[in-house]
Each structure stands twice: as C-alpha cells, then as structure tokens.
Structure 1
Amino acid sequence: MKFKIIFFKLKHIYYIILAFVFVVLFAIFLISKKSAETFNIFTKNKVISNYDVTGDGSKDNIYIKINNNRYSLEVKSKNKTYQLTPSPTLNSLGNYTNYSPLKLILTDVSRDNITEIFTQSSEDNTHLQHLFIWDKNKFKDIFHTTNNIIGFIDIHNNKTPKIISTNFNNNSLDFSNYILIKDKIKPYYANYPSNFIGKDTIEAFIKYIQTLSYYGNSKPNSLFHESGKIACSSVIDKLASENRKYVFQDGSFSDSDYNKNGEISDVKWVLNFKSTSNLINEDCKNTSIKLFLKSIGDSKSQFYFKIYSINILSN
C-alpha cells in the first residue's frame, strides 16, 4: 500500500493562514453585530453590565435608581462613578410609575465602539427622551425631546446609522431624523413614504389596541403577514380576554435585516401601553408589545411591512 505525501508550497501556506484569519474575523464580526442590537429594560432598581460606555475597553456598570420617586442614572467604570445629568433644557429623567417605567436603550450609533445611552420616561404626563454620550471624562446629554418613540435604522449595514425621534399624536407618526457626527446630533432631510419601516402599520395597530374590546373586535388582518396571521390573531384574542383598557405610552424600533439590495426588510418595534383593568381601577400596569415586521409585495403599497410575530411582556 502506497501513501501519498502532499507537500505545500510556501504561498499555499500563506493562503491557508489568510483564509483562517478571515474566518475568525468574520465570526467576530457576527458576534459583535449581534451584541450591538438595541434592547429595552423596564425596571425599578437594576444594574446593567457588559457594555463599554466610557471607551476604555472594559465593561461598565449602569445603575438605574429611584430616589423620592425620581429616576437617576450613574455609571461605574473601573474605580470611578459618573452621574448622568440631564440638560437644563429638559432637566429630568422622569418619575417612576408602575405603568410607564424608565426604558434604557443601549446601542452604538456612532460606530466608534462606545455604546450610547438613550433613555425614555415620563413626568406629569410629559414624555422625555435623552441621549447621553461619553465626552472625554464625563457624560453629556446632547439630545432631549418630549417625543415618545425613538428608533434606529442602518445600524447593522454599511450605511450611516440614523436616529429617528417621533411622537404618536392624533393616530399618526411624524418622523424627525438625525445622525450622530463627531459627538454632535445633526438633523437630516428624508422624504420617507407613509409605509416606511411599517409606519402606517404601527399607526393602525396602536389605534386598534387602544380600542380593543373584551367582547371582541374584528381582527386587523390586513396588518398581518400570511406566515403569522393565526399566531398574531391568537395573541390579540388573549389581550382582549384580559378585559383591560390600553393607552399608548411610548415605544422604540430598530431595523433587523436587509434584502440583497441593502434595503430594510425586517423591523422590530416595541410598543408600551398603560394597561388598566376594566373591573378594578387600581389594577394598572405596563404592558409591552413586541412586534416583528417583514416587508412584502409592492414597496409602494399600503402596509408594505406586515406583522409576522407578536410577543406580550407585562410588568
């Protein structure tokens, strides 16, 4: 029996090493992409770890605290503690209520490997949004509004990440568009269509949930993707059976996938409602509805982004 001995030339060894390095780097990219996704936290007192918000290469701890029913935030990085102080223009991080807790959204919209800190909360029926960035040796509040929805697009592709702030008012959403450049927030003009990232779908869905009846409403089937229609209808039935009134509070969204042309194909929305029992007025809580939308059909059609999954989270 003869054995074949294979000899590699030096250049072949180089090719193998380069291929191995490429695979490792690609794997790291996928992991970092996954970890950079936006998320929401609903809490009273909690510590959030595993994010570098000071740019020193180490993971920091973010503390959400409540003092005299008012929210405060601080970051502990190595042996130092930093307070997150809101701008005098909108000098509050909100008051605690069980039906509209503070939401903390962490994501890197500047692509400098330093995570930005977004907050959503309310005070005396006024909604509050803040964006904190690390500025050399302190946190700076560079963006603050009284809108109640914050969103992010082009986070995971090769385009410039964008921030969209909007307010749900009179059953409609009006987008204000921004980009973060060199630690400054700058508006940009965009003539987005009414169905952009599911805008018309979300407007109709919020309106539907706020009129949801224990005795049953006709289902908003035109909003549902064929692949998730049965499951989505089942979740709606569950919400209706709880016999509660739902009033929209705030929300967030982020694109999550793209088609072969680099256009947004999937979007995740989180909508938060004040949920009050129709039988016991004192029974009041936060109900969060997580929606996954997928583009389908003609991009110029109404409800181009349709809901294919609904998850309910209650505090």
Structure 2
Amino acid sequence: MSHGLGVVAALRDAPDIVVVGFALLTQLGDFWWYLSVLTLAYAFAGIHPRLRGERVRERVAFVIAVALGALAVTYLLKLTVAHPRPPGAETARDLAWLPASLDPVWTFLATSESYTLPSGHATGSAAIYGAIALVSRWGSRRLRYGSALVLVALIALSRVVIGVHYLGDVLVGLAVGGGYLAVVWLATRGRKVKRAFSLALAVALVGMFATLTPETAAIAGATLSGRITWTIVGGRLPAFSTGTEGAVTAVVALVGAALAGGAAFAGDASVVVLFVAAAGGITLILTSPLATQRLLG
C-alpha cells in the first residue's frame, strides 16, 4: 500500500539546504526534545514571577502526561499496523560538502527506522504543543494557538521533506495526536493530572499486552510511575523556589529524563529493566522539587 500521494518522490530533489533545515526542524518533534524541555520547565517553575505557584508545575505535569500518552498511542498503532517506511528512510542523503566526522550526526538527524504509520513526530507534536497552547498563560490565546498550529504543521512537513514518512503518515499522526489531546482535555480540562496519567497508563497497558517490546514496556513503566507518583506529590509541591533551588531541581530532573528517555528507546535490554528504569526516571522528574527541598534543607 502506498499513501504518499507522490509527495515523497516529488521532494527527493529538494536542495540540500532545504533538507538540512527540515532535518534540524524535525528535532522539535522528537521525544528527547520535548521531554527535556518539559523537564526543565517543571524544574524551574516558580523562579520567574510570572511562573510562581504550584499550579504551574501542575500544568507542566499535565503536558508530561499527555506526552507519555501520545507516545503510547503511537507505539500501539505502529506495532498494530506495521507499515514499512518509504524506501531510503534508513539512509541519509549524501552531502558531499559535509565533513566525514559529522556523518553520524547527519545520519541521526535525517533517518528513521521501525514502522511508519502514524508519524510519531506528527502525533506527539500535535498533542504536546496543542496541550501547551491550552494550558499556557503566555500571550493571547490566538497567538498561542496560531503558533502551535504553525509549528506542528512544519514538524509534520519536515518528516515528508527528509523522506522518512509518507504524507499519509503525518496526516494520520496529526489526527491521532489531536484526537488524543481532545479526549484528555475533555476528561480533565487540564486540571486533573492524575486522570491524565491514568488515560496514558490505560493506552500504554493495552500496547504492552498487545505487543510486548522493550519500548512498550518502558512506556508502561513511565505512565504507571507518573500515575502513582503524582498521587503522592500532587498538592505537596513548593510554590516558590530560588535560582539555586531551580538549578539543583533541574539536575535531579534531567537525570530522570535521561533515564526515562534512554529506557524508552534503548531496545537492547530486558523488558523488566526498561520498565523499572523508565518508571524511576519519571519518578525522579516529578519528585525533583521535593528532593531539592530535602537536599538543601
């Protein structure tokens, strides 16, 4: 089955500068990127006067729950449909002018493996940047929604431009990500974080029991940890923090992000190890403000 509508083939001859630009842009829809950004936002909430208050961390935790749920939906559908990527998706375009030492970086940026439908970048960006637009208080609502729409569209387009997805993949991904966010928002209105984690956990468990892989096990561990941990720490987070407290919190939280992110995509360890590692990583992120309080006394 081909659902590229000829778009992938038409973009094969795009200039190198266009492909490189979109290869960089596509990272804004990668799991490592938004997990890192959300982790830092969670850690530093309370430092800037406009970010003070426990409600800010609650909103960031809601987006983290949405992110994990979108990842769970993506893997559930990818493994169920099992549709191959476009030919050449695992091979980066040859850039004659690129130093050989940068070839591994370029390969990382411009290639993808595993199954193709739906696009994880399109699914995740639609859900996550949409959630940020909904819960954020920065700027006007029109500006937030418009910015999110443009960014999500560019990320989705980037997957087609660099040749790792068909057009149909990203369109389905946008629909899935937007649909998942709509369900979570209707169920929580952005305020019931435990329920958001519960929805993510439900999808993750379906995915894990349908197809047990290191990735689905890690996602299940992360969502379960999020649900349990938020039940414990929700309502107990500090509302204010100093720059020093924010920095220490960030270090603790980023260790958790590295653990959770590495577990989600390691793929070469046992499912039990990755389940526990991902669970521990999310626990570190969500408890980092309280851990900092204990450390600094």
Q: Does the alignment reach a TM-score above 0.5?
A: no
Please say which structure displays the higher CA radius of gyration.
Answer: 1
Report the TM-score, using the length of structure 1 for normalisation. 0.27
Report the TM-score, using the length of structure 2 for normalisation. 0.28
Of Structure 1 and Structure 2, the greater helix share is in 2
Of Structure 1 and Structure 2, the greater strand share is in 1
